[in-house]
Chains A and B, each alone.
Chain A
């Protein structure tokens, strides 16, 4: 039963968190990481190139110009080559056509003439065949002699009679005539032409096949037998011309592309150089070299940019100087006021002390007046000192004098100094976590002032209960948390305690003479260190102020070694109780509550137990206000319990306040936490997720 209800509960917040964090990618398939690794490995050597590509506009423009001009040149080349080829082929075709037509008509005439003169009597077929053969040979030779090298002639028999052997000139291989053309020629009466590769039979010449225009026609020979006559015009010449044009174009194109790239580089450089100069000067301006100016020549756009830039720099310089002057005046004023106020105050102070020394001689009223005078001068003095300190921060005149200090010693000094006050209030100040040195680079004077403020505040508002000063060091940070068990803070007050002159309760009588500026100064001190000062508190449950400082002065803070919400806060105790109850309920389902009561180690009073066991009931977790002052590393921590604040101040608080005796708490402080490590950064995050 218990397991059944906890399982979905555990799943839900997990999913919710993943969505909130936007980390859905972690749920990618198993191949994801491998792919990413491969991509990362591939990218690594390319990274410098990619960075150069991203950062260098000149490179990008030149590359774009190269690519585009290459495209244009290629397009142009194709068009030109196409035009030239068409022109060449057209001319060739025309010439070939007329040549072939002439040849065909000559052959026809010859055949007609021979057949009319030679007669077509009863000659033997053999002699006729031989005659026809020689006639054809003659014809081919005669026709081919018109242009040796310019064209070749082939005569083929239309019907496959072996006696009439094919005649060729120029060693043309008969298979050069494409069968398609032959079929057209045999089937038709007109001239047919096609382009084909012409092969040559005489291998000794090593002539390679060459492209040619072939024109064919069916004719009748002397015997009125049909035969095919083909003219083959090699296109070698044209091809050579075309190649020459191609080569020329390619060379020209290459030159054009390279030159265009170079031109683009030069042109872009003209524009980019001033821009780069402006960027460099802007950078130097921002580092404080306010006298830097751009060199302006001419009146073009770049010059206008330079002028505008210089004008801007001029104005900036003027404004900054004015502000510096103001700041200097402010500091001077503060210093003068300080002096002017302090000198008469010194006189008053001394006079008051002299009067105070001899107050026994006065009547009671005057004597009491002397006491009041001295007391109020003390207060006036500290107020003046605090005001001057704040104005020093405001003027930016506060300087950090950091050196490695052991916070334990500072804490010891602060506690020694606060001992009389604590005695008067009836509380003890205890220290935890001081087994090892807690060293950080810090300004001892400022840290001591901050801690003195926190400890005195805790004692003053602790209502006579103990104050625990906890030290911690982890990662690059050290922390001091001052915990009291007094009235605590109402929701929202944790943010306001650092406001200047803020009072927890304006109507409340002021028992001690704080200036109302202590925490404001402390926050400024913490900020000066690059650290955090944060407050946490619950109404009636006390409060905790945590100071976190970076271990070295220039190291940014990422987290704090001590959780802001103390482990013995009501919320955490309720959660701890719930965890224990859950565990014991699983072991002994029906006797969960008596078991806890019997052990007595948990500080949760029995009245609170039933509500605390139910984790789902948010009213069991009393509200807590937390605030991040300087930065916000753990927003989730502050945000998580916040919605509950309204309901947290409900009836549960009465019993919790009743249980607020130091004894029970001490048990909780020292141990029995549900496996939580007090000095680790993760504990805080754990706490916040558990609260969800």
Chain B
């Protein structure tokens, strides 16, 4: 059972409360309160998911997020008190997979965490092609001309979702539901930011995308293979 969660939060009361809730749901939480120590704690704990507060003493959450993302694709969920577009987008661009705005309900948080963890539990032997990319779904790898491209699990899911139905145009709401596991349309900024990040990794020219194509006014679809 995978359920190690690293909580990076300086507010001890909140961290403790998060621990109570997470333990109650069967996760194994570990804690770190300082941004400078977050990376070391991450390496020690090897968590399956990171809950990261954006405002931290020492190194701030954005920086910590970048560092973790630099060496791992582990899902990162940001805890933010600011719902302003700029804050959210900056957080997502630094590598977070999802965000949750304070104050949140415990159930909501658990649902998000489960949605991020669920993905790795369903391996299906499947080979997909999108553009000139070859995706091995079970092996969790993307290759172009034999060269493998490193993607985070979320980016991989996004690419797979598009590649499975190359004839379909996905609205942002549908992608939110399929990839992030949201029931209700929440925030399409998530999709926009992650599509940009996916493009920066898989496209030859991110300015002229060929793999993930924008359909104006509707959403995104897989490029012709």
Q: Which residues of A contact B (CB under 8 A)?
A: 335, 338-339, 342-351, 353-354, 381, 397, 399, 401, 404
Return the chain B residue nearest A381 by Cβ: B103
B20 CB within 8 Å of chain A: yes
CB-CB < 8 A to B20: which residues of A? 350, 354
Contact B85 A346, beta carbon cutoff 8 Å: no
B37 CB within 8 Å of chain A: no
Question: Bound complex: CA of A349 vs CA of B14, how far in Å?
Answer: 10
CB-CB < 8 A to B17: which residues of A? 346-347, 350-351, 354
Contact B81 A343, beta carbon cutoff 8 Å: yes
Residues 3-17 of chain B, each 1 if its beta carbon lies under 8 Å from chain A, else 0: 000000001011001
In the complex, which residues 1-55 of chain B have their Cβ closer than 8 Å to any Cβ of chain A?
11, 13-14, 17-18, 20-21, 24, 55
CB-CB < 8 A to B55: which residues of A? 339
Q: Which of B79, B85, B103 interacts with A349 by CB under 8 Å?
A: B103
Contact A399 B103, beta carbon cutoff 8 Å: no
Given A339-B55, A351-B17, A354-B24, A346 and B103 touching (CB < 8 A)? yes
Given A335-B82, A381-B103, A404-B217, A346 and B14 touching (CB < 8 A)? yes
With A343-B102, A346-B14 given, name 9 new contacts (CB 8 A).
A343-B14, A344-B11, A344-B14, A347-B11, A348-B103, A349-B104, A353-B107, A354-B21, A397-B84
Question: Bound complex: CA of A470 vs CA of B106, how far in Å?
Answer: 38
Contact A342 B81, beta carbon cutoff 8 Å: yes
B183 CB within 8 Å of chain A: no
How close is B162's CB to chain A, nearest CB, in angstroms?
Answer: 22
What's the interface size class on B, roughly? 20 to 34
B208 CB within 8 Å of chain A: no
Given A350-B18, A354-B21, A339 and B106 touching (CB < 8 A)? no
Q: Which of A342, A353, A354 interacts with B102 by CB under 8 Å?
A: A342
CB-CB < 8 A to A381: which residues of B? 103
Return the chain B residue nearest A341 by Cβ: B81
**12 examples of A-B residue contacts, CB within 8 angstroms:** A339-B55, A343-B14, A343-B81, A343-B102, A344-B14, A347-B13, A347-B14, A349-B106, A350-B20, A354-B20, A354-B106, A401-B85
Q: Which residues of B contact A (CB under 8 A)?
A: 11, 13-14, 17-18, 20-21, 24, 55, 79, 81-82, 84-85, 102-107, 217
How close is A365's CB to chain B, nearest CB, in angstroms?
Answer: 24
Q: Does more than half of chain A's interface fall in helix, strand or loop, or is it mixed?
A: helix
Question: Bound complex: CA of A344 vs CA of B18, how far in Å?
Answer: 12
Question: Bound complex: CA of A342 vs CA of B18, how far in Å?
Answer: 15
CB-CB < 8 A to B79: which residues of A? 346
CB-CB < 8 A to A354: which residues of B? 17, 20-21, 24, 106
How close is B125's CB to chain A, nearest CB, in angstroms?
Answer: 39
Given A345-B102, A346-B14, A347-B14, A339 and B85 touching (CB < 8 A)? no
Question: Bound complex: CA of A343 vs CA of B100, how far in Å?
Answer: 12
Contact B81 A353, beta carbon cutoff 8 Å: no
Return the chain A residue nearest B87 by Cβ: A335
How close is A96's CB to chain B, nearest CB, in angstroms?
Answer: 103
Question: Bound complex: CA of A339 vs CA of B82, how far in Å?
Answer: 7
How close is A219's CB to chain B, nearest CB, in angstroms?
Answer: 118
Question: Bound complex: CA of A343 vs CA of B21, how far in Å?
Answer: 16
Return the chain B residue nearest A403 by Cβ: B217
CB-CB < 8 A to B105: which residues of A? 349-350, 353
Question: Bound complex: CA of A399 vs CA of B86, how far in Å?
Answer: 11
CB-CB < 8 A to B84: which residues of A? 335, 397
CB-CB < 8 A to A401: which residues of B? 85
Question: Bound complex: CA of A381 vs CA of B81, how far in Å?
Answer: 12
Question: Bound complex: CA of A537 vs CA of B39, how far in Å?
Answer: 61
Contact A338 B81, beta carbon cutoff 8 Å: yes
- In the A-B complex, the 10 residue pairs with the smallest Cβ-Cβ separation, listed nearest first, are A339-B81, A346-B103, A342-B102, A342-B81, A345-B103, A346-B102, A347-B14, A350-B17, A349-B103, A347-B13
Question: Bound complex: CA of A70 vs CA of B36, how far in Å?
Answer: 88
How close is A512's CB to chain B, nearest CB, in angstroms?
Answer: 20
Contact B217 A346, beta carbon cutoff 8 Å: no
Name, among A343, A348, A381, the residue most crowded by chain B CB atoms within 10 Å (CB to CB). A343
Question: Bound complex: CA of A351 vs CA of B13, how far in Å?
Answer: 10
CB-CB < 8 A to B14: which residues of A? 343-344, 346-347, 350
Return the chain B residue nearest A398 by Cβ: B84
Name, among A335, A353, A399, A401, the residue most crowded by chain B CB atoms within 10 Å (CB to CB). A353
CB-CB < 8 A to B21: which residues of A? 350, 354
How close is A443's CB to chain B, nearest CB, in angstroms?
Answer: 11
How close is A356's CB to chain B, nearest CB, in angstroms?
Answer: 10
How close is B51's CB to chain A, nearest CB, in angstroms?
Answer: 12
CB-CB < 8 A to A399: which residues of B? 85
How close is B108's CB to chain A, nearest CB, in angstroms?
Answer: 10
CB-CB < 8 A to A347: which residues of B? 11, 13-14, 17
Name, among B79, B102, B103, B105, the residue most crowded by chain A CB atoms within 10 Å (CB to CB). B103
Question: Bound complex: CA of A344 vs CA of B14, how far in Å?
Answer: 7
CB-CB < 8 A to A343: which residues of B? 11, 14, 81, 102
CB-CB < 8 A to A351: which residues of B? 17
How close is A659's CB to chain B, nearest CB, in angstroms?
Answer: 41
